[in-house]
């Protein structure tokens, strides 16, 4: 499991598993596009930038892009709610809340969530984007007005 939240904190995939020592959450504090997963089959990038809620020039995740051969070379982009969309090959999907988008090899559900990725936002209702992808990749994104947590 990899978890990304806030301004930003990142718990990496191999932290504390298979006998490895748990490492402190990493942070990306500048604006830009960063590789989160880059393998021959799976590519995931995060776009980071400042929002009205970030302090001292820190950044939050504004968008997540998923692609590569495992996704049959299609691209899924998930953005914040205000001014953003969920795009599949550049076309908006799951525009209504709640809603669902289905392809033969993947499914996207946009619905009310129960779990907050960032505990600081616990008092607010969660708009969850759950994406079932090939290779048993289960992507969960909390969409907020100005940023996303994954």
Rounded to whole angstroms, the Cα distance separating 100 from 62 reads 22
CB distance 71 to 90 below 8 Å: no
In DSSP notation, 91-141 reads: EE---SSSEEEEETTEEEEEEEES--SSGGGTTS-EEEEEEEETTTEEEEE
- For the whole model, what pTM was predicted? 0.82
Averaged over successive runs of 10 residues, the pLDDT of the chain (150 residues) comes to 56 51 58 85 88 71 93 97 96 97 97 84 91 89 89
pLDDT value at position 78? 97
Note whether 112 and 96 are within 8 A (CB): no
């Amino acid at each position: 499991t990899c978890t990304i939240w806030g301004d930003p904190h990142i718990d990496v995939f191999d932290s504390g598993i298979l006998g490895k020592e748990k490492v402190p959450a990493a942070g990306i504090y500048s604006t830009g596009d960063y590789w989160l997963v880059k393998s021959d089959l799976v590519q995931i990038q995060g776009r980071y930038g400042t929002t009205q809620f970030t302090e001292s020039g820190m950044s939050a995740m504004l968008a997540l892009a998923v692609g590569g051969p495992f996704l049959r070379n299609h691209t899924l982009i998930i953005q914040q709610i205000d001014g953003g969309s969920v795009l599949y090959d550049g076309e908006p999907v799951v525009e209504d809340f709640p809603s669902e988008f289905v392809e033969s090899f993947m499914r996207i559900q946009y619905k009310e969530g129960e779990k907050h990725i960032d505990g600081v936002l616990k008092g607010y209702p969660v708009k969850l984007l759950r994406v079932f992808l090939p290779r048993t990749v289960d992507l969960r994104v909390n969409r907020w007005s100005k940023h996303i947590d994954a």
